[in-house]
Structure 1
Amino acid sequence: MSHPHPELGAPPSLPEGGLRVTPLGGLGEIGRNMTVLEYGGRLLIVDCGVLFPEEEQPGVDLILPDFSSIRERLDDIDAIVLTHGHEDHIGAVPYLLREKPDIPLIGSKLTLALIEAKLQEHRIRPYTLEVKEGDRELLGRFDCEFIAVNHSIPDALAVAIRTPAGLLVHTGDFKMDQLPLDGRLTDLRAFARLGEEGIDLMLCDSTNAEVPGFVAPERDISTVLGQVFGKAGKRIIVASFASHVHRIQQVVDAAHEHGRRIAFVGRSMVRNMGIARDLGYLKVPAGLVIDVKRLDDLPEEQVVLVCTGSQGEPMAALSRMANRDHHQIRIVPGDTVILASSLIPGNENAVYRVINGLTRWGANVVHKGNAKVHVSGHASAGELLYFYNICRPKNLMPVHGEWRHLRANAELGALTGVPADRIVIAEDGVTVDLIDGKARISGKVQAGYVYVDGLSVGDVTEANLKDRRILGDEGFISIFLVVDSATGKIVSGPSIHTRGSGIDDADFGLVLPKVQEVVTASAQNGVVEPHQLQQLIRRTVGKWVSDTYRRRPMIMPVVMDV
């Protein structure tokens, strides 16, 4: 099994007849899925998603793939193929189309409806081509066939991409639920046919590769939801992803069975469920859904609220309920809250913080840890073994997962007979070339995080985030000083102010003489330039704070010369 090395340089020019695969996100992380394929000087992009920030990225709204490696080649892009409508696969499309709005988007009916609604908010009218399972489209130099796969959102597709360099299959996110709610199975016959044709390189979902066995059927949740609904005496609040149509369908069915009405809460939830209902993917009995403003007209035992926030997102509806700052909904004793999703790695603390907040106000919180209210949308190890034995890929590149998932997926491929030297474990930015039937790592391009903070895209850097973390953890100290521009002597100050450092202002009397001493000594040595003096003051105060308090607040000296 090959793996990347830190010393990898820029990849060489792609040899004629070769196919290059460059993941710009989704490898070594859960989210930000984006893969760029290159053949004959043309590019095809599969998915373009976002990653949601973690606690060590304060103030960040979204994390995008880095487009810098393709920014000078936007005219070479034949299309963006979208495998399904989850945010980690479509959420970054508006930011790429800002740079070139006429790149064609290819996807299923629901996927395109979701991305078109998102693009409307960005005032972009895209060119789209709707496809369905069984369709085959020539997208520039890439002959693409679309295959039905089962996932936690309807209309998910895998894509088989034929070029003279070989046949590449990208699974997207998938599982093999044999009793799906919508009756739409993962098309194993199509994958078997592709296997007979000869799959030269497979890019396969790794998210659940560590989990043994097979994923339970989605319909198993219906029984558990029915039991929870039957026991609930007051309101029921269900938190789910805004795109999990299958899960919301089960909630709708349970509400109808128990004589309750449903209100959708949150802009993305209202928008997505409206789209799903209009297109026929969500079947809702007449009169079941009401506006959230009418909740006060109904008895508590007849109310179901469906909202976002199952991952503990700070601005989502459920987090605001837990913090008692939601403008419409206030948690009261006896409410039942159902978190109908799994924990995305990295979100554990945020989710348990929300659960504790809800419990504090008297809610009965039902989650995956105490009831079977979620099944995964990703194939487990047993399914992947089954899948590889059907497909028999000649080369395998695990995608969509953290390092432990990629490694586990690679080991499953090896167990089914994929040669070890034909299994490529890469990471974001690592280029993999398929040449003469063998996949090899050829180099690396830039693929760092691009942060969205409000209207700012890419302006926030790792240094900015480090400053934010320091400010949040240690506070700051500011020192003001006025010096004579000619002599460097102190004219006024120094004065010190602090916020959040935990150090009493009176204690700074001990360090003021040290500041005066270092500035005076600098003046005597001819060092009077404000920037140099600021550096000296920062080191002096920083050392004193570290030695005295074992703390490292942000220190901001301001030196003015007159």
Structure 2
Amino acid sequence: MTVPTFARPTAPPPALADGTLRVVALGGLGEIGRNMAVLEYGGQLLIIDCGVLFPEEGQPGVDVILPDFTWIADRLEDAQAVVLTHGHEDHIGAVPYLLRLRPDLPVVGSRLTLALVEAKLVEHGIAPVLQVVTEGETAALGEFSCEFVAVNHSIPDALAVAVTTGAGTVLHTGDFKMDQLPLDGRVTDLAAFARLGATGVDLFMVDSTNAEVPGFLASEREIGPVLDAVFASSHQRIVVSSFASHVHRVQQVLDAAARHGRRVAFVGRSMVRNMGLAAELGYLHVPDGLLVDATAAEALSSSEVVLMCTGSQGEPMAALSRIARGEHKVRVGPGDTVILASSLIPGNENSVFAVINGLTRLGARVVHGGNAKVHVSGHASAGELLTCYTVVRPKNVMPVHGEPRHLVANAGLAIASGVAPERVVLVEDGVVVDLRDGVATVVGSVPSEHVYVDGSSVGLLSSSDLKDRLVLAEEGFVSFFVVVDEETGLVAAGPQVVARGFAEDEAVFTDIRAQIVTDIEAVSTPGAIDVHLLQQTMRRAVGRWVWGSLRRRPMIVSVVTAV
């Protein structure tokens, strides 16, 4: 079986021809996060999802990473709406930043999804225009007719969306799986998928996250007995960590706590906010008297309480990470049990293992996906994806939501199901795909850089800045200061040195001082001092010496003052 290679055009796309639908992913293709797709037809735009990507270890100081809005920033008045498939951060987290550019852009989604978005927008001081939709409903959004289809995922109220224009129908699954026994009874609507397939799906955009996983996923219901067993064997404090939006998992923890006579306290602002919304809207069912606030929980015996917190992905400032470092008011020790009720997001492995090791060092028993079945993924595995391809029978397929290996595996499944290889479009962020006369074709590319949020700064931090931060963290910093006489071109004072992040004493730099003076005086011109030239000369001399003597490549700052 031949799987197509990634198309990587560098030229911008041509003007959009009449009767053609353009599809551009500005995030989520080639990475797990910042999902965002833009559809263009008849001079109008429709945005599907607008999420964030969380930083990795090599991106110090970054809070979140946004999609690159450059391509649409000047055309947001043409946008009819942003349609949200579900309420996870990698699909809704960037909405506030998009609405800063156009606050009245309609936001369309299910009731829970919009409640989570609205809570975020309040924090940003934005009053949104919201349109609630439900499965089975069709909404006319300009040139785009959108039918919403129920799908099962690890958060309630998830939707797929079928977008129909004069160029054909695109079916975007969002994140989904096919749990046949979901906790809330809301299964993925394969009958609707089949009906759409019989009518004709011209482009199928399919979740790829678990395309490498064979067979079918276990049901969420299998987690309940495992949690029961862990609770039964725990005689002191229990701490459970999960995503702050995983309502189903929180429900299972509440149910287990009620059965074992424990009270539950939510720890962390996002957990408290999201579960409060879920309970208010009826998605989370809380037995009377079960919940207590974190302060009241401190007064309870350790055998009477369960703490539900965030931090299952090792996020440095999340509650569980701070607990593992001993920096949180919640303390764990010998006899306590910590449950990490989530799967590992690729790229977070080291951070999660650091948390597990920290908790273990404190004496806690740590239960996680590696030693117990305490989590089931929310993304369809290979068997479920093949079922969808068989039901939908799409004309063209565009794998979405995944790293390159996931996209390639999904492309292979599409071809195995009978889709012609030339009809499988394998692309990453920024690549432009045009759908015309039932054929999807790669026609160019648009900007799709990572946009970093660093505190109040949005988009100002560059890859070069991140490289500097890594150098500072890993190699240290050294600064040399020299005063040069303008008339003679000779060094009048210095070099003075300041070094940080070096194990060696600053005296180790004595050997380079004489060489700096020699190099500077060799290139200086009396009466016409070129400060920039002298700084570069000093920087090169220091760099060669530090590497040759100390095997280090620190950040070097050279300062020359002419007097």
Counterpart position of 1:136: 138
Residue 511 in 1 paired to residue 509 in 2?
no
Q: Does 1:532 align with 2:533?
A: yes
Question: Aligned partner of 1:96: which letter?
Answer: L
Distance 1:510 1:8 in 2: 49
One-letter code aligned to 1:548: S
Whole-angstrom CA distance in 1 between matches of 2:153 and 2:545: 57
Residue 418 of structure 2 is aligned to residue 417 of structure 1: yes
Distance in 1 of aligned mates of 2:130 and 2:206: 26
Superposition pairs of residues 424-503 of structure 1, within 5 angstroms: 424-503=425-504
Q: What residue is the counterpart of 1:362 in the other structure?
A: 363
Find out whether 1:249 has 2:251 as its counterpart: yes
Cα distance in 1 for residues equivalent to 2:490 and 2:137: 79
Would you say 1:88 and 2:82 are equivalent positions? no
Deviation track 1:176-224 (CA, whole Å, cap 9, x = no partner) reads 0000000001001100000100100000000000000001000100000
Structure-2 separation of matches of 1:38 and 1:545: 54
Deviation, structure 1 residue 534: 1.1
Distance 1:200 1:28 in 2: 23
| 408 and 561 in structure 1: CA distance in 2 versus 1, 3 angstrom threshold | same
Which consecutive residues of structure 1, in runs of 5 or more, have no partner in the other structure?
none
Contact 2:483/2:493 (CA < 8 Å) preserved in 1?
yes
Deviation at 1:549, TM superposition (A): 1.5
Rounded to whole Å, the distance in 2 between the matches of 1:485 and 1:56 is 43
Residue pairs, 1:53-452, within 5 angstroms: 53-326=55-328, 328-452=329-453
Counterpart code for 1:55: E
How far, CA to CA, are the matches of 2:253 and 2:396 in structure 1? Answer: 41
Task: Give the corresponding residue for 1:520.
Answer: 521
Shift of 1:3: 4.2
493-502 or 147-156, larger mean C-alpha shift: 493-502
Which amino acid counterpart does residue 542 of structure 1 have in structure 2?
Answer: G
Query: What is the percentage of aligned positions where both structures have the same residue?
Result: 63
Structure 1 residues 526 and 366, CA gap change in structure 2 (3 angstroms): farther
Task: Provide the rounded CA distance (Å) in 1 between the counterparts of 2:527 and 2:430.
Answer: 49
Q: Answer whether contact 2:23 2:37 (CA < 8 A) is retained.
A: yes
Mapped partners of 2:191, 2:8: distance in 1: 41
Distance 2:69 2:138 in 1: 28
Q: d(CA) in 2 for partners of 1:527 and 1:302? A: 79
Specify the SS of the correspondent of 2:75: helix
The alignment partner of 1:48 has SS state of coil
Matched, 1:561 2:525: no
Give CA deviations for 1:500-537 in whole Å, capped at 9, x if unaligned: 03332111110000111111112248772222211111
Native 8 Å contact 2:7 2:442 kept in 1: no
| Secondary structure of 1:337's aligned partner | strand
Q: Which amino acid aligns with 2:451?
A: V
Partners in 1 of 2:547 and 2:8 — Cα distance? 34
Paired residue total: 561
Change in Cα spacing, 1:139 to 1:503, as seen in structure 2 (3 Å) is: same
Amino acid at match of 2:464: A
Deviations 1:234-261, CA, capped at 9 Å, x for gaps: 0000000000000000000000000000
1:23 is displaced (CA, Å) by: 0.1
CA deviation vs aligned residue, 1:488-507 (integer Å, no higher than 9, x gap):
32222111110103332111
1:317-368 per-residue CA deviation (whole Å, 9 max, x = no partner) reads 0000001111x21112111000000000000000000000000000000000
Cα distance between partner residues in 1 of 2:81 and 2:481: 56
Structure 2 CA distance for partners of 1:42 and 1:7, relative to 1, 3 Å: closer
In structure 1, give the amino acid aligned to 2:460. D
| Alignment check: 8 A CA contact 1:4 1:441 kept | no
Change (3 A) 1:448 1:46: same
TM-score between both structures, scaled by the size of structure 1: 0.99
Name the amino acid aligned to 1:481. V
For the residues of structure 2 that align with 1:76 and 1:526, how far apart are their CA atoms?
Answer: 61
C-alpha RMSD of the superposition: 1.0
State the AA in 1 paired with 2:94: A
| TM-score for the superposition, normalised by structure 2 | 0.98
Partner Cα separation in structure 1 for residue 487 and residue 222 of structure 2 = 81
Q: Check whether the contact 1:222–1:254 (CA below 8 A) recurs between aligned residues.
A: yes
Match of 1:15 in 2: 17
Alpha-carbon distance between aligned partners in 2 of 1:412 and 1:176, rounded to the nearest angstrom: 16
Shift of 1:88: 0.1
Instruction: For 1:358, give the aligned amino acid.
Output: L
The answer to whether the 8 Å contact 2:7/2:427 transfers is no
In structure 2, runs of 5+ residues without a counterpart are none
- Corresponding residue for 1:42? 44
For the residue of structure 2 that corresponds to 1:548, the secondary structure is helix
SS at structure 1 position matched to 2:33? coil
